[in-house]
Amino acid sequence: MRIPSAVNAVVVAALVLTAATLTACGGNSDTAGDAKVPDDPAQVKGDITYAIWDVNQQPAMQEIIKAFNQQYPNVKVSISLAVFDQYFTKLKTQGSSDNLPDVFWMNGPNFQLFAANKQLAGLDGLQLDFANYPKALNALYTLDGKQYGVPKDFDTIALWYNKKLFADAKVAEPTADWTWDDYKTAAGKLKAALSPKGIYASSDELGNQGNYYPAILSNGGSILKDGKSGYADPKTAEALQFWSDMVKEGYTPSGAQGAEIRGRDRFFSGKAAMMWNGNWLVSAALKSPVKNDLAILPLPKAPSGERKTVIHGIGNVMSAKTKNPEASAAFLKFLSGKEAALIQAKAGAANPAYTGTQTDFVNSAPYALKTFIDAADQYSEPYPVSKDTAVWNKLELDLLLPAFGGDKPMAEVGQEVATKMDEALGKEK
């Protein structure tokens, strides 16, 4: 799970504010420099902390730690878990006082801020072969020619649906040839049949990575291009209007309703028939009461006939200020290897970035998980980021989420986003 679909506006605001603190306080003291792996594992001792944000992946991370301890028995790795809505707020507060976790998860929108402020250790000393990871993700965790993060996994977006609910509603199941019009038409039929039972046609979370980014790109629009906002593009506005219409017709919950109950929670409790969402939800799907009713297909196509998804992935990084650089470097290198990738793949925790390990992920659940792999190979686009992505991500959230389902044309809303986003981007230079 890499950029959860519905991020609390207050939390995003906190990220923006703490970014200023991080810039002011971070990177001023001596750092650990590049991560270096010690020669003798038996001599490596001490306690380190590994920070993550996904409780569904925690069991797999614990298994990875057990495997690491087979090689490094004298290192104790403690997991620090914080939900995503609090994770980066906490991380930036820790960074401002040079007290980051030793090793931790990072995402694309926040990476450049931490790297530019010398909060992350370089990876040259790990002697990794970066050809083992997707180029787009290596690039995502590189700044000024230096790589600071190792891709842990990668994710794309597909159509999840509940076969039983489609059957109950007497609506034909989706196909790989579905278009946006097919999605809306089916949603109308599902609403008519299922809403009296308190079940939504869809539970799309109206988030950037899961919903409007794929729609924008599929429709030939853009989010960020040549350092400028793409929200003024008519093609972008058409994609936003698609989601606004879905809300207006009552097919999918509004932003306010999504804040009360997340779309994925509705879906996995059998209270919604379909949704656009990512492969980070596989382990949650397997634990759900409707696990045997679920299926996956490629996203519906835009009117142009195109389908696109963004590709993103978590990166494992190491604090440049860690108090135990040897143990931290050893653990980071283990996290970067094939064994750790296979552990998370077999658990269905995430789709590993390490080349050649995705098959185990595909086989980890009775769903068409290869759909996500094919999406990455055939029709994915890099997740859009800049130095201070959180600033304009907040603009997206503040302006788009309440506008979905409203009477204001999304072309006007998109123009407002573009104007303010370009102002924010101009301040990055």
Write out the DSSP string of 369-386: THHHHHHHHHSEEEPP--
- The answer to the question of residue 368 being in a domain is no
- The answer to the question of residue 189 being in a domain is yes
Q: Does the pLDDT value for residue 242 go beyond 60?
A: yes
Contact 236, 219 (CB under 8 A): yes
- The answer to the question of residue 361 being in a domain is no
**Alpha carbons 304 and 63: distance in angstroms, whole number:** 45
Kindly report the CATH number assigned to the domain that includes residue 36: 3.40.190.10
Give yes or no: residues 128 and 184 share one domain. Answer: no
**Alpha carbons 245 and 251: distance in angstroms, whole number:** 9
- The answer to the question of residue 200 being in a domain is yes
Give yes or no: residues 333 and 296 share one domain. Answer: no
Q: How many domains does the chain have?
A: 2
Confidence of residue 21 (pLDDT cuts 50, 70, 90): very low
Give yes or no: residues 246 and 331 share one domain. Answer: no
Higher-confidence position of 311 and 34: 311
Note the Cα 278 to chain centre separation in Å.
8
Higher-confidence position of 340 and 56: 340
**Alpha carbons 90 and 413: distance in angstroms, whole number:** 32
Note the Cα 69 to chain centre separation in Å.
29
- The answer to the question of residue 253 being in a domain is yes
- The answer to the question of residue 375 being in a domain is no
Give yes or no: residues 62 and 172 share one domain. Answer: no
**Alpha carbons 180 and 52: distance in angstroms, whole number:** 35
Q: Which two tokens stand for residue 257?
A: 């309703």
Task: Give the angle 363-368-372 at the CA atoms, nearest 5°.
Answer: 95
In 3D space, the residue among 311, 329, 307 whose CA is nearest the CA of residue 320 turns out to be 329
Give yes or no: residues 292 and 203 share one domain. Answer: yes
Beta strands 309-311 and 380-382 are: parallel
Give yes or no: residues 272 and 173 share one domain. Answer: yes
Higher-confidence position of 24 and 306: 306
Instruction: Please report the pLDDT score of residue 39 as a whole number.
Output: 84
* pLDDT over 90, % of the chain: 84
Q: What is the mean pLDDT of residues 95-114?
A: 95
- What is the reported pTM? 0.82
Give yes or no: residues 71 and 206 share one domain. Answer: no
Q: What is the mean pLDDT of residues 247-268?
A: 96
Give yes or no: residues 13 and 109 share one domain. Answer: yes
Q: Furthest-apart CA pair in the chain: how many Å?
A: 66
Q: Does the pLDDT value for residue 82 go beyond 90?
A: yes
Domain of residue 233 covers 157-311+385-426
Give yes or no: residues 300 and 345 share one domain. Answer: no
Confidence of residue 260 (pLDDT cuts 50, 70, 90): very high
Confidence of residue 10 (pLDDT cuts 50, 70, 90): very low
Average pLDDT along the chain: 91
Q: What is the mean pLDDT of residues 238-244?
A: 98
- The answer to the question of residue 373 being in a domain is no
What are the CA-CA distances from residue 73 to residues 40, 42, 197 (Å)? 12, 7, 54
In 3D space, the residue among 278, 274, 272 whose CA is nearest the CA of residue 351 turns out to be 278
Q: What is the mean pLDDT of residues 372-394?
A: 92
CA atoms within 13 A on the CB side of 307: 22
Contact 75, 334 (CB under 8 A): no
Q: What is the mean pLDDT of residues 348-361?
A: 92
**Alpha carbons 342 and 153: distance in angstroms, whole number:** 11
Give yes or no: residues 98 and 133 share one domain. Answer: yes
Higher-confidence position of 32 and 377: 377
State the amino acid at position 416 in one-letter form.
E
Task: Please give the radius of gyration of the chain, using alpha carbons only, rounded to the nearest integer.
Answer: 21
pLDDT digits (tens, 9 = 90+) for 25-51: 443 333 446 667 878 999 899 999 999
**Alpha carbons 7 and 86: distance in angstroms, whole number:** 10
Instruction: Please report the pLDDT score of residue 348 as a whole number.
Output: 87
pLDDT digits (tens, 9 = 90+) for 273-297: 999 999 999 989 999 999 999 999 9
Confidence of residue 22 (pLDDT cuts 50, 70, 90): low
What are the CA-CA distances from residue 358 to residues 75, 150, 345, 350 (Å)? 29, 16, 7, 9
Instruction: Please report the pLDDT score of residue 33 as a whole number.
Output: 60
Note the Cα 127 to chain centre separation in Å.
27
Give yes or no: residues 122 and 229 share one domain. Answer: no
Instruction: Please report the pLDDT score of residue 85 as a whole number.
Output: 87
In 3D space, the residue among 116, 109, 200, 166 whose CA is nearest the CA of residue 391 turns out to be 109
Confidence of residue 429 (pLDDT cuts 50, 70, 90): confident
- The answer to the question of residue 363 being in a domain is no
Confidence of residue 195 (pLDDT cuts 50, 70, 90): very high
